[in-house]
Structure 1
Amino acid sequence: MTAAAPLLQIEDHARVRTLTLHRPEALNAFNEALYDATTDALRAAAEDPEVAVVLLTGAGRGFSAGTDLLEMHARATDPAFVPGEHGFVGLVDALADFPKPLVCAVNGVGLGIGTTILGFADLAFMSTTARLKCPFTSLGVAPEAASSYLLPRLVGRQDAAWVLLSAEWISAQEALDMGLVWRVCEPDDLLAEARRHAEVLAARPISSLVAVKRTMTEPLRAGIDAARERENAAFAELMGGPANLEALTAFAEGREPDFTGL
């Protein structure tokens, strides 16, 4: 079965459902509509008895450039901005609750949620030409998606501190060395290699896959929930503040932000 949504392509093969983020002109940045479509797709895959594994990747040069900054600017400055049905919070809910194996194939640039989503991946593959960045401090905001809890567990305290504090690019080799991804592949091999491993998992009984994942993730649930509360409070405090508005205005004006007075 193959179906296509305007912003999300969905393909099923051998009990693996591949979700391809499809805003290539925006490096697959998440606007409200893409947040909603991906949330709905994850929830549908969770309930579908024919789906054992979800493989998430991006179209074109990007995995995901994170939250669409032009839309973030509108949210911060336009009282008439209308959010989506699920939005960012809904997607993270769906990721935290997703009961089946989630495989990510990072085909290109991954910023913000395009990096922090890896905290919820059971296996992550990355192209040698891809790069990752958590731009929170360069945007004057706080971490997201329980990354302040999941990334230190995944890569260790100091590597997580660098990723979350520096807003610097992380190469594929660096991501592999720190354990942020599991395998690095040449660009032409990435999707085939990720699918091959996903299909190995998908050949196992779904009930067993779900049980194994639940026993691994259930001890983390309280920590994820608490981290999200802390992050959301910090994000709400900083969103629309002087540093965030300077960052978003600079982005809209095509210049570097100036934080020297902040």
Structure 2
Amino acid sequence: MTLQITDEARVRTITLDRPEALNAFNEALYDATAEALIAAAEDPDVAVVLLTGNGRGFSAGTDLLEMHQLATNPDFARGKHGFLGLLDALVDFPKPLVCAVNGVGLGIGMTILGYADLAFMSSTARLKCPFTSLGVAPEAASSYLFPQLLGRQDAAWVLLSAEWVSAQEALEMGLVWRVCEPDDLLPEARRHAELLARRPISSLVAVKRTMTEPLRSEIRAARERENAAFAELMGGPANLEALTAFAEGREPDFTALPPGW
């Protein structure tokens, strides 16, 4: 099982459930999460989705061991939806999406907040966009959504540096709406989700549609740019050094790469 799904008071809680891997997304978890969002979108009894993680992590991003296999094995079996399918489900999700960041969030565990209508974060959680440390490009239209949410310079630091962002920094940047003590995180996120869920679903959908529709073409264009850059860099010298270093349990050394890398 990769997800826990529960319904209460018209709120569907989707809990990422690979705690032994800090809820890192492998193909199975990408597929399950995409399917869960699609099902919630279509369910007339669901008004709001609350997304969180089980254990110490919100999500450690893409499973790097599986990413290494994808980069080095052309016959590796991909999932039905995969990473891109999850993004499609997030872009198309018509109802309020509330995220409760309970622990560490890396990669998609951070960039998914660009699609949250409300984001809550534990005071002990941390976030990171590790793209430059992995020798790849941004993802999930974060190159567009983060400058919109955070401002250009905070977004540039987050995306270029691959450094950790604390809960307080995320709050100050505008990436999350509330910071809570760990024991208060889910009750507070649920309280707000249930308040929204008492409103007419038709109105919730209409409000979200009118807010997000102007962003759709820009998100699509950003994803196309990012995908092209990612395809160019994945499997290149910097990415292979990063993935090999991860598999070997050491820090990557980018100083010996060919010029320009």
TM-score (norm 2): 0.98
Give yes or no for the alignment of 1:48 onto 2:60.
Answer: no
User: Match of 1:216?
Assistant: 211
1:205-240 CA deviation, whole Å, 9 max, x = no partner?
000000000000000000000000000000000000
Where 1:104 maps in the other structure, the secondary structure is: strand
User: Quick one: which of 79, 84, 93 aligns to 1:84?
Assistant: 79
Aligned length: 257
Where 1:44 maps in the other structure, the secondary structure is: helix
The CA distance in 2 between the partners of 1:167 and 1:176, in whole Å, is 18
Within a 5 Å distance, the mapping from 1:1-16 to structure 2 comes to 6-16=1-11
1:41-63 CA deviation, whole Å, 9 max, x = no partner?
00000000000000000000000
1:154-199 CA deviation, whole Å, 9 max, x = no partner?
0100000000000000000000000010000000000000000000
Q: Which amino acid aligns with 2:209?
A: R
User: Quick one: which of 133, 136, 139 aligns to 1:138?
Assistant: 133
Where 2:175 maps in the other structure, the secondary structure is: coil
User: Quick one: which of 95, 98, 101 aligns to 2:90?
Assistant: 95
The CA distance in 2 between the partners of 1:175 and 1:193, in whole Å, is 18
The CA distance in 2 between the partners of 1:49 and 1:192, in whole Å, is 24
Give yes or no for the alignment of 1:117 onto 2:112.
Answer: yes
1:74-97 CA deviation, whole Å, 9 max, x = no partner?
000112210000000000000000
User: Match of 1:32?
Assistant: 27
Give yes or no for the alignment of 1:64 onto 2:59.
Answer: yes
Q: Which amino acid aligns with 2:38?
A: R
Give yes or no for the alignment of 1:160 onto 2:163.
Answer: no
The CA distance in 2 between the partners of 1:47 and 1:153, in whole Å, is 29
Identity %: 86
The CA distance in 2 between the partners of 1:88 and 1:239, in whole Å, is 15
The CA distance in 2 between the partners of 1:79 and 1:137, in whole Å, is 24
1:85-125 CA deviation, whole Å, 9 max, x = no partner?
00000000000000000000000000000000000000000
Gaps of 5+ in 1: 1-5
What is the alpha-carbon root mean square deviation over aligned residues?
Answer: 0.4
Where 2:224 maps in the other structure, the secondary structure is: helix
Superposition misfits of 4+ residues, deviation over 2 angstroms: none
The CA distance in 2 between the partners of 1:240 and 1:84, in whole Å, is 20
Give yes or no for the alignment of 1:205 onto 2:200.
Answer: yes
Where 1:99 maps in the other structure, the secondary structure is: coil
Give yes or no for the alignment of 1:107 onto 2:107.
Answer: no
How far did 1:261 drift? 2.6
Q: Which amino acid aligns with 1:237?
A: E
Where 1:126 maps in the other structure, the secondary structure is: strand
The CA distance in 1 between the partners of 2:74 and 2:42, in whole Å, is 36
1:16-56 CA deviation, whole Å, 9 max, x = no partner?
00000000000000000000000000000000000000000
User: Match of 2:174?
Assistant: 179
The CA distance in 1 between the partners of 2:71 and 2:85, in whole Å, is 19
Gaps of 5+ in 2: none
Where 2:33 maps in the other structure, the secondary structure is: helix
